[in-house]
Amino acid sequence: MASAFTVFFDGSLWMGVLEVTDDSGAVRAARHVFGAEPSDAELWEFIATCANSLFDRAFAAPAVEASERRPRAAARNPKRLARQAAREQRRLPASTASQRALALAREKRASERIVRRRADKDVRARIRREARIAKRKAKHRGR
């Protein structure tokens, strides 16, 4: 299972996208909005304190099949890792698979919110109706 955390500027805010790719090639993603440009120290602090919750959100998100499969990096040579990191920084900010995963999670939350609001609205309407009926019965009690 491979994961990558990418920090990029989307035009108005600095964001971080965590992409988790499992062995079958499915991609799950979670996003964190930083706001102002995070310094290296702030990024390390974020990783130390909030990485677990970001991974939890990524694993809770629906999986999307990745269109392209990136080969796993088998080499541990530090110079090669530095070149790969520089290459990743020049690459586009977030993969389309992670964008699809984020959009799917957003749509899922929206549909759940619609269902929950409808249920709350029905409960409030039932309570108002019962109050009207009780008030009507109280008016006719003495007759």
Q: From CA 40, how far away is CA 86, in angstroms rounded?
A: 16
Q: Which segment, 45-49, 100-104, 127-131, is predicted with the most confidence on average?
A: 127-131
How many whole angstroms separate alpha carbon 138 and alpha carbon 132?
A: 10
Instruction: Using a cut of 0.85, tell me whether the model's pTM lies above it.
Output: no
In this structure, are residues 80 and 69 in contact, taking their beta carbons and an 8 Å threshold? no
Among 36-40, 49-53, 88-92, 114-118, whose mean pLDDT is lowest? 88-92
Contact 16, 44 (CB under 8 A): no
Q: In sequence order, which ranges of 1-143 are alpha helices (DSSP H)?
A: 40-60, 78-90, 96-139
Q: pLDDT of 72-123, one tens digit each?
A: 656 578 888 888 888 877 776 656 777 888 888 999 999 999 999 999 999 9
